Amino acid sequence: MDKILLMLQLQAQLNDATNGNDWTKGITKNGKVINWRRCIYMECAEMVDSFPWKHWKSINQEADWDNLQIEVVDVWHFIISLAIENYSQELKGGIEDLAINISQLSSFSNIEISNNEFATQDEVIAKVENIILLSLTKDKLELENLISEFFDLVVMSGLDLQTLYKLYVGKNILNQFRQDNGYKDGSYIKVWNGEEDNVVMKRILEQNGDIEPDVLYKELIKFYLSLTKS
């Protein structure tokens, strides 16, 4: 449960910093409406593009499993944001209560097992589309079902709790870095010497297994400064 709680806490802190302390009411500090469900299904659509699903284009292209894993983590950001908002609005409890309830889901035990195996492309896409359907429904939010489906996707994407947590922390720090360097006003440079910043972040994590969040942030600064000065 500790890793789930830490991820929830980190997400709440990032949302506070980005959207203001009242973001759980569905409005940012700038008066912008927040729609976490839309964030989920739009990110899921990007996830599907990790595969050569188009029958008319690039039919021999290989699946981009590295990108899929990054997109899985991006969806997780939005799912736990939605969960925190839901618990706040429905008066279900705080972040600690949410963490306990997530860890008690039967599907949670599946991601606790070390895993690096991928499901087939069609299986993954079908699971992603299930998540899209759950996020699109106009009925009452099936939060536990949504999280359970996501945990299935985690396993199918060659991830487990440890790797999900590691990538989540890495992306959380990258998101903070983006916010600090002009992401909202559009001045941020997302492609670094031909690679998306996501890819650079993931490579730093892979090369430094026990890197601390503040050290990762400093490494990102080094890469970005060398980019902007060139």
Q: 3-state DSSP call for residue 208?
A: coil
Instruction: Output the pLDDT for position 123.
Output: 97
The CATH class that applies to domain 2-162 reads: mainly alpha
* pLDDT value at 182 more than 90: no
Could you state, in order of their start, the residue ranges of all structural domains in the chain?
2-162
CA atoms of 125 and 45, how far apart (whole Å): 10
CA atoms of 172 and 144, how far apart (whole Å): 23
Instruction: Output the pLDDT for position 208.
Output: 80
Higher pLDDT, 225 or 133: 133
Instruction: Output the pLDDT for position 48.
Output: 96
Hunting for tokens 């992306």 — which residue is that? 171
Can you tell me the mean pLDDT for 184-211?
86
Determine contact, residues 181/217, Cβ cutoff 8 Å.
no
User: What's the pTM value of the predicted model, to 2 decimals?
Assistant: 0.87
Instruction: Output the pLDDT for position 230.
Output: 57
Task: State pLDDT tens for residues 153-178.
Answer: 999 999 999 999 989 989 889 988 98
Burial 25-56 (b: 16+ CB within 10 A, else e): eeeeeeeeebebbebbbbbbeebbebbeeeee
Q: What is the mean pLDDT of the chain?
A: 92
* pLDDT value at 229 more than 70: no
Higher pLDDT, 128 or 208: 128
Spatial CB neighbours of 166, under 8 Å, sequence gap ≥ 6? 205
Instruction: Output the pLDDT for position 40.
Output: 97
Query: Among 62-66, 86-90, 145-149, which is the least confidently predicted range?
Result: 62-66
